[in-house]
Structure 1
């Protein structure tokens, strides 16, 4: 349950103002059909994060525990720093209209998530917790928490959310996870 809840919270916070949330706003404005967009986001995120979660567990199996602890700790700290780098939407990803609303959203979101903060976070969280299912379900729920309101309410909600404080909170959580991992907090307390 811990892996699910932490994954949900971190990704929901990290996604605010992220390029995929901006992409959701662009798609909502372009197509004005929210439910196929929401379905496309869900399927793309689930597929992308399942691959990322599997990679995270595989990475965990490749490294000795001490090496993995350092890799994970530093990657969480890196994620904290990365949250302060603004994202932009690649307009080319929204020019897939011939695939229909669902197909365009599915393709654009899957591609936009490649190497994105939330995908990298999914790899690191799955490696940390060793639970692909809990992490993938949590990160997917976090993406939906952040993106469904963006799709349903359009650009009005994007301007209403205080992006910098939300990113600062997500960065603080990543930083705390990184420091706790580097210090072996989980190992000391049987987590």
Structure 2
């Protein structure tokens, strides 16, 4: 249960102000099919984050045990610093031709997550916990918690949420967790 809760909170925080939230706004503006967009986000995230969590678990098996917890802790600090950098949605990522809302969302979300901070966080969480299932489920729920309100309420939320303050708080959480992990590693 700890893997699920930590994964949920970690990705929900990392996702604030992320390019996939901007992508959610763009998709709603273009297609206006909220259910198809949400299902596309769900499907893309499940597949992408399953692969990422599995990779994290596989990779940590190759690290000496003495270094694994330190690598995970430092990774949290790096992700915290990365959260401070605002994301921009590239025009190339926002173009998906004439596909319907579900297919466009699935493809764009899957591609946008490759190398993204939430994917890196999922790899780290996969390395930290022994359960690919709970990490994948938690990170997917975190992604949905961050993006479904954007899909449902769109620009109404974006006008009232001071993203820079939320981004600083999210970064602080990651950095503090990383520092605690570094402390426990020694």
TM-score scaled by length of structure 1: 0.93
Find the counterpart in structure 2 of residue 70 from structure 1. 70
Residue aligned with 1:90, SS = coil
Determine the structure 2 residue equivalent to 1:34: 34
Equivalences, count: 186
Distance in 2 between residues matched to 1:165 and 1:66, nearest whole Å: 36
Equivalent residues in 2 for 1:1-191 (5 A)? Answer: 1-184=1-184
1:44 CA displacement: 0.4
CA distance in 2, matches of 1:184, 1:80: 18
Aligned counterparts of 1:82 and 1:95: Cα–Cα separation in 2: 25
Query: C-alpha offsets along residues 83-122 of structure 1, whole Å, 9 cap, x if unaligned?
Result: 1001001222222132211000000000000000100000
Q: Which runs of 5 or more residues in structure 2 are unaligned?
A: none
Alpha-carbon RMSD = 1.4
Deviates most, 66-75 or 140-149: 66-75
Pairwise CA distance, 1:134: 1.0
Unaligned segments of structure 1, at least 5 residues: none
Q: Structure 1 residues 154-163 or 34-43, which shifts more?
A: 154-163
Distance in 1 (alpha carbons) for counterparts of 2:159 and 2:83: 18
Q: Which moved more, 1:157-166 or 1:84-93?
A: 157-166
Q: How far apart, CA to CA, are the structure 2 residues paired with 1:96 and 1:32?
A: 15
